């Protein structure tokens, strides 16, 4: 299957890319460092919203921002998020309880 075909994640990635292109956000490979930093920023915003006791929907909105930014980056990198998700979930199911970490996570 070619990159970006089939699956909900790939459809959502294409939807995100259509929106970001239409809104004038660059998909330049030179921006990958910036995109990675902005994914962090959305997680920080979710952390801050949770810390401040904001409604769960406010936390969720920031997590949705992170998802959108992640899907945008998948598209810029030319990756197949659906296939990568499936493969990684299969790997994770094969791992031991709490992945043999001391404190879980
Ligand atoms: Mg945000």
Distance 40 CA to ligand 1 centre (A): 10
pLDDT category of residue 9 using cuts at 50, 70 and 90: very high
Q: What is the dihedral of CA 6, 10, 14, 19, to 10 degrees?
A: 140
Please tell me the distance from the alpha carbon of residue 43 to that of residue 62, in angstroms, as a whole number. 7
Domain ranges within the chain, ordered by starting residue: 29-93
How many Å lie between the centroid of ligand 1 and the Cα of residue 57? Answer: 12
Compute the average pLDDT of residues 23-51: 97
- Whole-prediction pTM value? 0.90
In sequence order, what DSSP letters do the residues of 16-82 get, joined into one string? HHHHHHHTT----GGGHHHHHHHHHHHHHHHHHHHHTT--HHHHHHHHHHHHHHHHHHHHHHT--HH
Residue 1 has a pLDDT of 42
pLDDT at 4 over 60: no
CATH class in words for 29-93: mainly alpha
């Amino acid at each position: 299957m070619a990159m970006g075909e089939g699956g909900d994640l790939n459809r959502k990635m294409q939807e995100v890319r259509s929106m970001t292109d239409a809104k004038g956000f660059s998909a330049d490979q030179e921006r990958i460092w910036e995109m990675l930093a902005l994914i962090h920023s959305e997680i920080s915003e979710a952390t801050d919203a949770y810390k401040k006791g904001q409604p769960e929907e406010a936390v969720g909105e920031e997590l949705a921002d992170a998802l959108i930014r992640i899907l945008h980056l998948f598209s810029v990198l030319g990756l197949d998020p659906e296939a990568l998700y499936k493969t990684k979930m299969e790997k994770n199911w094969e791992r031991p309880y709490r992945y043999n970490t001391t404190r879980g996570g």
